[in-house]
Amino acid sequence: MTERMIRVGERLPAVKLQMMQGGRIVSRPASELFAGQRAVVFAVPAAFSPSCSEQHLPGYVSTLFEFRQKGIEKLFCLAVNDIFVMQAWARERDIVDEVTMLADGNGEFTRAIGMEMDMRRFGLGLRSRRYAMVLEDARVTHLLVEKQGGEVKRSRAENVLEVLEHD
């Protein structure tokens, strides 16, 4: 396990993440994927889980307009799942363009930024902690990490918007 989680002011590592573009799987280093833009990444422990599906993801989808008003160009949802699971979850939740789904299938990005969570005792393996980060040109400007995996408090869309209000 990584000993230290990423901090505000640090740049994202050049670890690849997967997403779908035009029906094709695209792998891009996070340092390039977020370069030159202002974005929000929120991570969930498991696609399709009740708190992720009913609380976390919908909050970002419903506040897309407010994020755009605050200068956020894109919203990304990240999980230690494969790209096919992430796309199936987007279809099930009827998400088209509101949020870009990112797959960290092997958890390499998650480990590199110190956000891994050992869920083996529940049969889930390595997962991501629940968090939200605001990025500017692939540099972390705000980081909101949950104390426990099941909680959806600090990293809620409304809290990220509130943080952005004070920028």
Measure CA 87 to chain center: 14
Structure-block tokens of residue 110: 């998650």
Other beta carbons within 10 Å of 1: 8
Quick check: 39 and 135 in contact, CB under 8 A?
A: yes
Pairing between strand 100-103 and 74-79? parallel
3-state secondary structure of 16: strand
Token digits of residue 99: 């949020």
> How far apart are the C-alpha atoms of 2 and 69, rounded to whole Å?
35
Catalytic residue numbers read 52
- Which single residue is written with the structure tokens 């088209």? 96
Q: Which helix (H) or strand (E) holds 4?
A: none
